[in-house]
């Protein structure tokens, strides 16, 4: 523990506001600030403890992911007594989706606290959600389940969770479109090809065909993102048909 504190000692001196910034975000004063230092340390720092174990936010992210899922599950179970397992699972997925967690982390400006050797502008959107989950993991180890529950209620449930709105929210346009095609026996496929264009960062272009007719196309920095983007465009183009067949 002394070794761990020593590692972050210089950072604490350089950033005297860290304790106060974290306190403002989580709503209480941390008992073990080193947990939060770890929650905002990126693997690029290449820091290890005296046993050779990496010191970064990734293990806390794993723990926080489980805590968020558990607390949201408990909330939905109590809030929607008529919801069956399938309904509750779908609703939980909407609350803890990667897109939503990224939004939460971004709104809290967690990236402002990260210690990294990588330029912040080079991070993808997922860094926001990763830091949010790591923060929740740190809260759990520092203060326990009840503190996690209060934090998630104040920062997630109260400002963002509206059951009625969530019911109509679409998490994955691709999944919805595939389900519709299968239900109506429509053949579909995604034609994916690399498309670098004049940009340094590699892009992928996607064309979505339904019944051998191209209904949408899109490009993004990964195949998954490009397919989802094309699916979203197809959804809006076919929205009336989807909901009436």
**pLDDT-derived band at 228, boundaries 50, 70, 90:** confident
**pLDDT tens-digit map of 9-38:** 444 444 568 999 999 999 999 999 999 999
What does the alpha-carbon distance between residue 110 and residue 54 come to, in Å, rounded to a whole number? Answer: 21
Angle at 160 between CA 68 and CA 226, to 5 degrees: 80
**Contacts of 18-21 spanning 24+ positions with Cβ under 8 A:** 18/113, 21/112, 21/113
> Residues 97, 85: contact at Cβ < 8 Å?
no
Lowest-pLDDT range, 70-84, 129-143, 188-202?
188-202
H/E run at residue 227: helix 223-243
**pLDDT-derived band at 198, boundaries 50, 70, 90:** low
Query: Is domain 2-168 classified as CATH 1.10.1520.10?
Result: yes
Total residue count of the chain as it appears in this document: 245
**pLDDT higher than threshold 60 for residue 8:** no
What's the mean per-residue pLDDT of the chain? 87
Q: What secondary structure letter does DSSP report for 41? A: B
Catalytic residues: 65, 133
**pLDDT higher than threshold 50 for residue 3:** no
Domain ranges of the chain: 2-168, 173-243
Class of 173-243 in CATH: alpha beta
**pLDDT tens-digit map of 69-123:** 999 999 999 999 999 998 899 889 888 888 889 999 999 999 999 999 999 888 8
Is there a common fold for 2-168 and 173-243?
A: no
């Amino acid at each position: 523990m002394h070794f761990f504190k020593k590692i972050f000692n210089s950072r604490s001196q350089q950033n005297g506001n860290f304790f106060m910034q974290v306190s403002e975000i989580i709503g209480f004063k941390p008992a073990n600030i080193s947990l939060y230092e770890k929650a905002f340390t990126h693997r690029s720092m290449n820091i290890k403890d005296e046993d050779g174990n990496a010191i970064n936010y990734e293990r806390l992210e794993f723990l926080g992911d489980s805590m968020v899922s558990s607390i949201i599950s408990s909330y939905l179970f109590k809030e929607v007594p008529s919801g069956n397992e399938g309904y509750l699972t779908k609703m939980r997925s909407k609350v803890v989706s990667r897109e939503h967690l990224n939004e939460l982390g971004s709104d809290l400006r967690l990236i402002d606290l990260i210690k990294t050797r990588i330029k912040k502008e080079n991070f993808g959107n997922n860094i926001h959600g990763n830091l949010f989950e790591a923060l929740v993991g740190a809260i759990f180890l520092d203060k326990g389940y009840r503190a996690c529950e209060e934090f998630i209620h104040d920062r997630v449930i109260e400002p963002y969770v509206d059951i009625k709105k969530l019911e109509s929210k679409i998490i994955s346009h691709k999944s919805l479109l595939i389900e519709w095609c299968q239900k109506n026996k429509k053949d579909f496929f995604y034609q994916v090809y690399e498309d670098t264009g004049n940009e340094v960062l590699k892009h992928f272009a996607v064309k979505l065909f339904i019944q051998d007719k191209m209904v949408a196309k899109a490009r993004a920095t990964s195949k998954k993102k490009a397919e989802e983007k094309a699916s979203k465009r197809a959804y809006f183009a076919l929205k009336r048909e989807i909901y009436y067949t």
